[in-house]
Structure 1
Amino acid sequence: MDKFVNIIGAGLAGSEAALQLAQRGVHVRLFEMRPETETDVHRGGDCAELVCSNSLKSTKPESAAGMLKAELAALGSQLIAAAGRSRVDAGGALAVDRDKFSADVTSMVKENPYIEYRVMRVSDPLDACLGAADATILATGPLTSDALAQWLVDKTGSDNLAFFDAAAPVVMADSLDMDVLFRQSRYEQDAPGDYLNAPFDKESYDAFIAQLVAADRVIKRDFETKDLFQACQPIEEIARKGADAPRFGTCKPVGLTDPATGRRPWAAVQLRAENAQGTAYNLVGFQTNLTFGEQKRVFRMIPGLQN
């Protein structure tokens, strides 16, 4: 098939599109500005880099996220297959070793004879220097360059492009107090469980929330405003809505039994493996805009995380 497609952006969408087209004999030019042009969030220059959580959400078929994954797998998604190869234990969720996942996708892209990979910042997707194409796919992602963002604004007549982000903290496994934490997945009493749980009693929870809402936050970057994506709000913003808000959300203790007390905790923070070796864990649902100093001070109030 003598067809050519230009794809701008080698994130999740751009990488999947390139691999699917190549599989069908379509020639692809895949343009990615990193690492030549960096962003405020990405760490490297590989394809399909996950910049926030390492979880791709539920695999349970009765959930919307699980149904989508089943459909992607049935349709031959290359990235879902890569996620399966780099999977880490996360109960009913599909979580990955983010470095292994990104490296796997990068290898598939760069080793494919139908894909020409170019490190290049694109300001105009229709520029002749990109090469003649039968179609162009814009998969530039939320952290597109200023010039390409302006091109999109000019073409669409919209100035509402936005990206809101909060960092999710990661802790080293050897710093955790396993005399306090317990391993359990919700509603799984007998299985060893894929999550570590930090149990709060009422007194320690109330003290933690008081410090959380009073802590200093970073000065917001250019791409962050007071508007927040509801599914990914910083934990301190959730707590500002009410002291019990986290306890009925990301810190809900339902389905957990603290073996130290034989009872359900007042609240619980769950930790999920960040990599296949289990040397690091991330705090589930704890995206935050606190300064690093305040993260250390406040998050060390979580039982078992004092170190």
Structure 2
Amino acid sequence: MMDRGAMTVIGGGLAGCEAAWQAAQRGVRVILCEMKPLRFSPAHEMVQLGELVCSNSLRSNAVDSAAGLLKEEMRLLDSLVMRIADQTAVPAGSALAVDRHRFAARLTEAIASHPLITVRREEVGRIPEMAAGPVVLAAGPLLAGPLADHLRELTGDAHLAFYDAIAPIVDADSLDLKVIYRKSRWDEEGPGDYLNCPMDREQYAQFVEALGAAQTVPLHAFENPKYFEGCLPIEVMCARGADTLRFGPMKPVGLAHPVTGALPHAVVQLRAENREGTAYNLVGFQTKLTYPEQLRIFRTIPGLEQAVFLRLGSIHRNTFVCAPRVLDATLQVRQLPGLFIAGQLSGVEGYIESAAMGLLAGGNAARIVLGREPIIPPAATAHGALIGHLTNSDPAHFQPSNVNFGLFPPLIGRKIPKKMRGRIRAEQALELIRQWRQRFSGQDYASSTNPQ
């Protein structure tokens, strides 16, 4: 391949490896910096690149699911992570799970053997000057030390967070609007901006009892159980007293029913996640409950009995930027062109989402080296939906997210049955990605096939 310039990638996780691969495949020299084995984060123990620190599951492989669609788009865009994942898959039903040791070994081999990638096993304390070439920062959610201090210096203290406090998100179409009513607190005029799930005294008592007995996810050794008072897990608030939630996120004051005038004993408020109102966030419901317990307990909330959860809640140690304020749609830092942020640090959740942001950042950084303008994936694709979440969310309420169909633009046209929506979105998205990939890569993919 022709040597056309150089760029730097910091971090040898999924996002960093994918970014380096995308750039090198375009003929760009890449220096990939990885601090292991000189220093390990509290969650890492393998020397290899691309270590999966939690589950070995990459979630659904079904193309009519948002996670499966993202994987298929990545395959079409020549994703190294997806190629290796497919090669090292283990039986997992409709999900894609991998042998984590074989996965990391093959990923490391692919990166180390690429003629245009130089792997430097060193810890980076400061982000390099972009005058020497674009930089992709993909240092992972446990970023700490001098590099974290430098990022904070560049982006501002208020634009860097160190804990996810994620509340569940539900599909708007799955809500029972015969029970739920729209109203903002104290707002006597207009329909209001919030949806409200009212509880009477008995329903609230049953909810508190179930919550108090629910199973939670154990903290990792490196996580501090001293939560911020402003975003306590709901089960921690519940343990402080039976009425604590009624004086916190479930406070009914100012939320009398707009028709009957009745004041509920407690209220669960839902806030729109996007302008289209296709997804709603359970306000203040960040939690350490296990996923099965969240599904069981939250579906006892009036109006949520049949709720489809697009994302479940969590609280964990995770460094990320406030993407709507910091990043543009090409994943560059707005005030520092040439500095890209990828992976979980950019504000996404999940292995594949992190790798996808690495894919976009690496490809766009390479385009700069090659004298081309960075480009943005179509909004109605899984990649575009994630970029939309990072750049169009309300900065005051921004939290990382997995890919889900609630992030996509609404489907336009005739009313489409729920069971068909995933398939139709997938068909549209994959056609858009096929049209877009030649522009993104600058190469002719006409005769390419998906890696096996």
1:237–1:152: structure 2 CA closer, same or farther, 3 Å change rule? same
Q: Give 2:99's aligned residue.
A: 97
1:30 to 21, 29, 32: 32
Q: What is the alpha-carbon distance in structure 2 between the residues aligned to residue 224 and residue 113 of structure 1?
A: 47
2:54 to 44, 52, 55: 52
Structure 1 counterpart of 2:132: 133
1:161 is matched with 161
Is the 8 Å Cα contact of residues 3 and 133 (structure 1) preserved in structure 2? no
Match of 2:267 in 1: none
Say whether the 8 Å CA contact 1:21–1:27 is kept in structure 2.
Answer: yes
1:236 and 1:61, CA in 2 relative to 1: closer, same or farther beyond 3 A? closer
Q: Residue type of the partner of 2:150? A: W
| Residue equivalent to 1:111 | 113
- What is the aligned counterpart of 2:11 among 9, 12, 18? 9
Equivalent residue of 2:31, what SS? strand
Deviations 1:262-287 (A, max 9, x none): xxxxxxxxxxxxxxxxxxxxxxxxxx
Tell me if 1:121 matches 2:123: yes
- The superposition leaves residues 189-218 of structure 1 with CA deviations (integer Å, 9 ceiling, x where unpaired) of xxxxxxxxxxxxxxxxxxxx9876499977
Return 5+ residue gaps in structure 1 as ranges. 166-208, 250-307
Report SS of the residue matched to 1:124.
Answer: coil
1:162 alignment partner, SS class? strand
Q: Separation in 1 of the partners of 2:220 and 2:290?
A: 12
Instruction: Please give the TM-score of this superposition, normalised by the length of structure 2.
Output: 0.39
Amino acid of the structure 1 residue aligned with 2:140: G
Aligned-pair identity (%) = 34
Q: Residues 44 and 92 (structure 1 numbering): CA distance in 2 closer, same or farther, change over 3 Å?
A: same
Which gives a bigger RCO, structure 1 or 2 (Cα 8 Å, sep 6+)? 2
2:75 paired residue among 73, 76, 79:
73
Match for residue 20 of structure 1?
Answer: 22
Aligned residue in 1 for 2:255: none
Contact 2:81–2:107 (CA<8 Å) still a contact in 1?
yes
SS at match of 2:139: coil
Counterpart residue number, 1:147: 146
Contact residue 11 and residue 141 of structure 1 kept, 8 A: yes
Superposed CA RMSD = 3.9
Aligned partners of 2:14 and 2:218: how far apart in 1? 33
- Inter-partner Cα distance in structure 1 for 2:225 and 2:134: 30
- The alpha-carbon deviation at position 13 of structure 1 amounts to 0.8
Is the Cα–Cα contact under 8 Å of residues 164 and 223 in structure 1 kept in the other structure?
no
Q: Give deviations 1:236-279, integer Å, cap 9, x for gaps.
A: 59748976879x99xxxxxxxxxxxxxxxxxxxxxxxxxxxxxx
Please, which runs of 5 or more residues in structure 2 have no aligned partner? 166-210, 234-281, 301-305, 308-452
Structure with higher helix content:
2
| 1:152–1:86 distance in 2 versus 1, CA, 3 Å | same
For the 8 Å contact 1:55–1:96, the answer to whether it is kept is: yes
Given that residues 11 and 47 in structure 1 are in contact (C-alpha distance below 8 angstroms), is that contact kept between their aligned partners in structure 2? yes
Taking the aligned partners of 2:217 and 2:156, their CA distance within structure 1 comes to: 40
One-letter code of the match for 1:140?
A: A
What displacement does 1:80 show? 0.2
Give me the whole-angstrom Cα distance separating, in 2, the residues matched to 1:220 and 1:140.
17
Q: Secondary structure, in 3 states, of the residue corresponding to 1:18? A: helix
Provide closer, same or farther for how the CA distance between residues 148 and 236 of structure 1 changes in structure 2, counting only shifts above 3 A: same
1:152 is paired with a residue whose SS is: helix
> Whole-Å Cα distance in 2 between the matches of residues 15 and 60 of structure 1?
25
**Which residue identity is paired with 2:147?**
L
Equivalent residues of 1:143, 1:163 under 8 A apart: no
Query: Could you say which structure has the larger radius of gyration?
Result: 2
The 1:217/1:39 distance shift into structure 2, 3 A limit, reads closer
Q: Please report how far the alpha carbon of residue 161 of structure 1 lies from its aligned counterpart in structure 2 after TM superposition.
A: 2.1
* CA positional deviation for 1:133: 3.0
List per-residue Cα deviations over 1:150-194 (Å, max 9, x = no partner).
1111111134322459xxxxxxxxxxxxxxxxxxxxxxxxxxxxx
Give the letter for the 2:135 counterpart: T
3-state DSSP of counterpart to 1:117: strand
Check the 8 A contact 1:48/1:102 in 2, yes or no.
yes
- Alpha-carbon spacing, 1:77–1:4, altered in 2? closer, same or farther (3 Å): same
* Deviation digits for residues 219-248 of structure 1 (CA, Å, limit 9, x no counterpart): 7724984657x99964459748976879x9
The equivalent of 2:197 in structure 1 is: none
For the Cα contact (< 8 Å) 2:59–2:67, is it kept in 1? yes
1:85 aligns with 2:84: no
- Could you tell me which amino acid in structure 2 is paired with residue 146 of structure 1? G
Closer, same or farther in 2 for the Cα pair 1:56/1:237, shift >3 Å? closer
Separation of aligned partners in 2, 1:122 and 1:27 = 19
Q: CA deviation at 1:45?
A: 2.2
Q: Is the 8 A contact 1:164 1:224 kept in 2?
A: no
